[in-house]
Chain A
Amino acid sequence: MSAEQPRVVVVAGGARAGGMGRAIAESFLRLGDTLVLSDVGAPLASHPDYEVAPPDHLATAAQELSTLGTVTAVPCDVTDEEQVAALFGAAVAEHGRVDVVVNCAGLAIGLSPVTELSLADWQVNIDVMATGAFLVAREAARRMVPQGSGRIITIASQAGKTGQPLLAAYSAAKFAVVGLTQSMAGELGQHGVTVNAICPGTIDTPLLAVKGGVYETFSGAAGRTEEDYRKRLARQIPARRFGTPEDVAAAAVYLASEGASFVTGEALNVTGGQEMH
């Protein structure tokens, strides 16, 4: 990675306004990097009613972000290996290389007791967050190994460190992300590629508020209003506040920086003290 040349940064799952991916994309652009932005852009086949970022969000996000630097928008379903290959193909065709990849694609489906968790809800968690993490990281590695350098950043969760009630499918998928990250770090170190996970805690993003998401599910389970639940949740966080997408973006910027070149296989908690392991 030359300091003179802008890095080429691929951010998957980065279109939703107010989301972590969007903040991460913005942070890299502000550093002068070139951005390749993707998002799914179409309803999930298995869950057509789930509120993914609407299709026009990617174009809108790319347009808004382009005031900060060069942005190439490529729709991509991270569960589809051909689309993932096409995403990286487009990045390389347009910009010649891929230096940093951050995959933020995630969802909030199937927040329910295990006894009521459907196979379809379980599967979409595994597909999007575990298999999606694998496909994106694999394709990134295929591009980075020949380059002899690169940074792969996966987004896990505090739920990828400690399982939580009503989050079985999500936790399982996020544990998978941490395992994938460690395995890949071990394999790719010799090629100059680092692989690290960020484990965000409770971050104030639209994902918490989607239908069937954390607010609705956990406030319902506790018999409280969403507002009351939010206040109680903040009190359970040692820092007494929710994280911001920018808190997570700063960690991604660090992990992608030259200064973090000896950091690999890490699963970095950004949780305000909610998770310490």
Chain B
Amino acid sequence: MTISASVPQPGTHRSSATFDLTDERVWVTGASRGLGRAMALGFAAAGARVALTARSADAVRQVADEIEELGGKPLVLVGSVSDGAAVDAAAATIAEAWGGLDALVNSAGVSPIFKRAEQVDEDEWRHVLDVNVTGSFLCAREAGKLMLAGGRGAVVNISSIHGQVGMERMAPYAASKGAVDALTRTLALEWAERGVRVNTLSPGYFETDMTEGLRGHDKWRAHLLGKIPLGRFGVPEELVSAALFLASDASGFMTGANLVVDGGWTAA
């Protein structure tokens, strides 16, 4: 996980600094689709050993197959991140297989439900908070135990720009992501001295399943693009590169930070 190992000799140019994670043990949640899937593939491509968590056994198996075709040996851990027993079991499997953990990419999450607040019922609200907040906490807690025992590690919590800026029809989602941001800061303070860094990665709007409906809708598409100074949606690789940076020693002095990858949305 050293940056020096990824730096080529002078004269061999590489503008796309990829941060080396060779043999690092990385747990990726929500790994069956969307950004989580991209994270799983991206970390495996960067040389990491990956453990993949998702609710759908078939879907996560497909991602694992893709990684195996590239020569990786992923662990597959089926279960919901909001189910404490499943998270404990996943962590136990990781501990048994690898003897420790170097990074957690907390990318499991549910999509916004796009309802005005007065129409959101209690179950819908609880479901979003269960997965996005409680799930992030449970995985961070269990991963944290493993990493604290090893004396080093990095947690990358995937939040959203809507943890910081409001958006209509997103009350539960935005609240859940604000909670993730706060969780990051507290965990960062608690674990810094013991070598475990905790940072937030906040995506804006990316070309993923989650935004497909919005991007395909003429009015929403124009509305969203109007808020992005770069004038386009992000591609998942641009979030993976940020996660690789936050998981690697290149960000060794960063903890409690929030890296926003949004094409300039929150700056404007």
Contacts and interface: CB of A to CB of B under 8 A. Distances in A.
A207 interface: no
Size band of the interface chain B makes with A: 35 or more
A186 B230 CA distance: 8
Contacts of B242: 254, 259-260, 263
Interface string B241-268: 1101100001111111111111111111
Interface string B123-167: 000000000000000000000000000000000000000000000
A170 to B, nearest CB: 20
Nearest to A238: B192
A130 B237 CA distance: 34
Question: Among A182, A188, A265, which residue has the most Cβ atoms of chain B within 10 A?
Answer: A265
Contact of B263 (A30, A201, A262): A262
Interface residues on A, range: 35 or more
Contacts of B260: 263, 265-266
Interface string A27-38: 101111100000
Interface in A168-222: 181-182, 185-190, 192, 194, 201
A239 interface: yes
A238 B16 CA distance: 31
Nearest to B205: A262
Interface centre among A185, A271, A276 (most CB of B within 10 A): A276
Contacts of A1: 15
Interface in B207-258: 228-231, 234-235, 237-242, 244-245, 250-258
Interface stretch (B3-11, B49-57, B71-79, B114-122): B3-11
Nearest to A29: B10
B188 interface: yes
Nearest to A240: B193
A142 B258 CA distance: 30
Contacts of B267: 181-182, 185-186, 264-266
Nearest to A239: B192
A270 B11 contact: no
B8, B251, B267: most-surrounded residue (chain A CB, <10 A): B267
Contact of A3 (B16, B188, B235, B265): B16
A21 B230 CA distance: 28
A6 interface: yes
Interface string B1-27: 001000110111111111100000000
Contacts of A33: 13, 15
B15 A273 contact: no
B13 A271 contact: no
Interface of B: 3, 7-8, 10-19, 185, 188-189, 192-193, 197, 204, 228-231, 234-235, 237-242, 244-245, 250-268
Given A250-B250, A265-B229, 15 more contacts: A29-B10, A31-B8, A68-B10, A185-B264, A189-B231, A189-B263, A201-B253, A243-B253, A250-B3, A257-B15, A259-B16, A260-B242, A262-B239, A270-B251, A276-B188
Nearest first, the 4 closest Cβ-Cβ pairs linking A and B are: A265-B267, A259-B241, A189-B229, A32-B13
10 contacts: A68-B10, A182-B268, A186-B229, A190-B229, A194-B264, A256-B17, A262-B261, A264-B263, A265-B267, A268-B254
Interface of A: 1, 3-7, 27, 29-33, 68-69, 181-182, 185-190, 192, 194, 201, 237-241, 243-244, 247-248, 250-251, 253-254, 256-266, 268-273, 275-276
